[in-house]
Each structure stands twice: as C-alpha cells, then as structure tokens.
Chains A and B, each alone.
Chain A
Amino acid sequence: MRDVAIIGVGMNKKWGELWEMSMRDIFVEAALDAIDNAGVDHVDSMYVGCMSGGLFTGQEHIGALMADYLGQCPVPATRVESACASGGAAVRAGFMEVASGMSDIVLVGGVEKMNDVSGDDATYALATASDQEWEAFSGVTFPGLYAMMAVAHMHSYGTTIEQLAAVAVKNHANGSKNPRAQFPMKITVDTVLSSVLVADPLHILDCSPITDGAAAVILCPADRAKQLAKNAPVQILASTQASDTIAYHSRADLTAIESTAKAAAAAYKMSGKRPDQIDLFEVHDCFTIAEIMVMEALGLVEKGKGGPAVEAGETAIGASIPINASGGLKSKGHPVGATGVAQIVEVVEQLRGASGERQVAGARVGLTQNMGGTGASSVVHILEVM
C-alpha cells in the first residue's frame, strides 16, 4: 500500500443559506478552490460525499453531475453515502484508490444543499439516517435520538445541561474566528439554556444548523507530494471506519459511541500515534452531547468525564486538547455530506499554520472524527504535516 498525502484543500467562501447557488455550483466552487490550492492541472478520479441529494434537491447521480460541471469528464466519479459520515467515507474511498496504486491524483469532495426544501422536508430527509421502519415510525426525530443519549449520559455520569451548553459556547467562540462559519456569533451558557427546547434536554442552540456548503481535497501519492504541491503537503497516517447497529436502541451501551471507539483504536494502531501525541481534534458535534460522547470514545478523557472537561476549558484553543477549532458543526455549519471533508480541510490548514486567529500553535498532528446517524457509522482520519 502506498502512503497518501493531501496537497490541496478548498471550501466555499462562506457556508450558510446560499440562495444564489445550486448544489452543483456549491460543489464546483469548493472543488476549484482545492484544485487551485494544490496547483494541479488535472485529476484522475473523483469521489463525492453526499447524504441525500435526492431528498434535498431531487437530484441523484451526483458523481457524474459534478465531474461534468467541474469540466473533468471522462474521469470516473462516484457518489459515496454513509449519512452524515458521507464526506469522511468519501475521503477514505479516495485514500484507498491512491494507496492501491489505481490512481495518482484524486479529488474528493463533499456537498449538501439543504435549504431548498422546507424545515419539515429537511427533518424528514435527516431522519432517514436513523432506522426508518423501527425508530422514525414512532415520531422520534434526530434531535430526539441525541436527546435520549443525553438523558442516559446525565443519568449514568451526572453530566449537566450547563456542561452541554459549554460545548456550544466553546464552539461558537472558535467559530467567531472562522470567516467561513455560518453562525460566527459568540453565545453564553444562558443564551443556550434560554433558547427554545427541541427535544428535552436539548435546546435549539445544542443543535447544529441546516447548511448549504461543500468542501474538497486533492490526494496524491506521498512520494510525489513535495514535487506536485505548491503548499505544504499533509500525510494521511490513518483512515479507518467502523459500523454499529442502525437503531440507537440496539446499542450495547446507550451512553457510548462504540463505532467511534472502534475506528479510533484502529486509527491509533495504523498511525502509530497515541491521543496525547495529537495536537488538535475536529469531531462530529451534530449535537452538544455528541461532542462529549465522542471525546470519551476517542479516549481523550475517561468515560463520563467529558462534560466536566469541557466546562473546565480543557478543550478550548490553547488548552490541552483543542477540539473543533473551526467552530465545529455547531458554528461553522453542517451540510451533512460535506462535513467529513471540511473537517479534513480545517486540520490541513491548521497543520500548515494557515488558520489565522484560530490557529492551534505548533500543531503537527491532527485527528478528524465524522459519524453518520446516531453513530451507526464512524470514520476517523489522522493527519501529519510532511
């Protein structure tokens, strides 16, 4: 297997409600940004992470569509879907294609256009990432499923609503330094707790938003990276994925995200890095409770200690375990198919020292964790600047 490097990254100038842009425009803008950032003149193959083009825009067959509008026909282009982990899974597909020797320069993008449908239709589309027949039938929503995780975690470990709110406060503080963030405003614990309840105990400010956006990366063999790249290349030390039951209710431990623990254990082994050798983490904070449970699954804190660690400021930029320097899904936005790719974009920029006000000083190794549904899919990547 060949070593693989990232030589280019790209995103839209701003994520949010992109009314003037179609799904294809959003994708192509980010892909062109990545191509320019890499300085390559062609790509050999493409993967596109997208959760639900069909339900959000009525469009499927997204691989070929994006190859067409990016002017890259006839290169092979395939859409990858693993719910909200579609982006991470697409990066893993591109990684495997370069590692195998099948292709040299692979573009991996992720996209979601979520604002063209009503809130009801978006809620329906997102609920298809749960067990449609045996969970969604009861009327439970995605916030409802994560709310049940929060209730179970609070019952077992004494996690508090103030600790949940502290995740949102920290991520908005980080996002306020990210010019691409959808909601770059600072908030307080009081703002979160006085916002409307969506599913008890989660308030609207515990939830990531509905977002239009795309992100893209360019991969190549590591031994060609320095020759091809015009910006510092970053090596992919590990690319792993794990699955768990589709229904949250069937999980062995209702307070844990086992697929993330499994994918992380495999990634630590593949990379030879321990958590304490990693300088920053971009994780899937689709809801505030998710970030706390992911911290525990990654082994960054003991089981049940995630809430107190966030409240004590241990996960802020400049503290011992910086998490979601980008603002996370919470503040930066969560265009579901793009999120896993955008996490990689953030870590690459951080490892290049190009993150401006939100730079984690001296970062050389970073980890991304992207998950689908209530954790039925988890994808973990570990990256190191070359």
Chain B
Amino acid sequence: MPTARAWREYPQRYRYEAAVCAKCGKWFFPPRLVCDACGHREFETKTMKRTGKILTHTVIRVPPAPFKDQAPFAVAVVEMDDGPRITTQYVDWKEGQLLIGQKVRLEFRKIYTDGHAGTIQYGYKAVPA
C-alpha cells in the first residue's frame, strides 16, 4: 500500500476518529466532506466507542494474496454502538461465538505485511466482548 495512503488512514485505523455532522448528529466512519443525511458540510471529530455487535459474518477460506498465511479467518460486518458500520476481521472467538448479534470489541492488531520489505499495516480487529 502506498505509504501516503496508509498515513492518511492512521486517524481511523489507530485512533477510531469519526466525523459527526454538526447539524443532524449522524456519525461517519471514515469521515466525509458532506453529510448524506442532511447535506451539511461541517463536522466535529469524535472518537468512536470500540464496542458493537455482529450483523453478519463469514469465514474466508480462499484469501487475497497478502492474507495467505492467515486463512481461514472470519470477517464480520459490525455495527458500532455509536452507529457506524465497519467490515473487519473477527478473531480470538470460540465455537458458538461466530453469531449474528454477538457483542464485540475492537482491538489494535497487525493486519498484513506488504511483501518481504514493505511496511507492516496495522489496524483494528474485532474480538468477543
């Protein structure tokens, strides 16, 4: 991944920074420049709470190249308690915890390494709460 792109995304991947519409209060993660609910263009930066629940899930058995050493791994759509939804890996779960409605918490984890000499990408993964 281009270093500049990785750097631009640190506020979300490392610090869970969301944009909250100054007019209607809708949360956006990642931030946007215009609110899709009311059209307002001013936002307040707020840190998203790291808890949410699983809305749907799968287990990836044929992974993309950078994730070869991790397969099989679970991925889920998580609705955060503050409202935004994310797609994230779901790890450290036991049998019976890969479920719609399962409460989860985001943790800071290594995501993948860009080849042998590339940078290491970090970000969030969900774990059972």
Contact = CB atoms under 8 A, between A and B. Distances in A.
B11 to A, nearest CB: 13
B87 interface: yes
Interface of B is mostly: strand
A39 interface: no
Contacts of A249: 55, 77-78, 85-87
A301 interface: no
Contacts of B127: none
Interface in B48-93: 55-67, 70, 73, 75-78, 85-89
A144 B60 contact: yes
A147 interface: yes
Contact of B58 (A127, A133, A148): A148
Interface string A51-66: 0000000000000000
B73 to A, nearest CB: 6
Contacts of B123: 137-138
A138 B75 contact: yes
Nearest to B66: A139
Contacts of A151: 56-58, 100
Q: How large is the interface on A (under 10, 10 to 19, 20 to 34, 35 or more residues)?
A: 20 to 34
Interface string A138-181: 11110110011101100100000000000000000000000000
B16 interface: no
A118 to B, nearest CB: 9
B112 A148 contact: no
Given A137-B111, A139-B70, A139-B89, A155 B30 contact: no
A128 B67 CA distance: 16
Nearest to A127: B64
B76 to A, nearest CB: 8
B84 to A, nearest CB: 8
B114 to A, nearest CB: 12
Interface residues of B, number: 32
A230 B63 CA distance: 49
A139 B30 contact: no
Contacts of A141: 60, 62-64
A199 B100 contact: no
A199 B62 CA distance: 7
B86 A139 contact: no
A19 interface: no
B44 interface: no
Nearest to B65: A120
Contacts of A152: 55-56, 100
Contacts of B59: 197, 199-200
A139 B111 contact: yes
B64 A200 contact: no
A232 interface: no
Interface of A: 120, 123-124, 127, 131, 133-141, 143-144, 147-149, 151-152, 155, 196-202, 247-250, 254
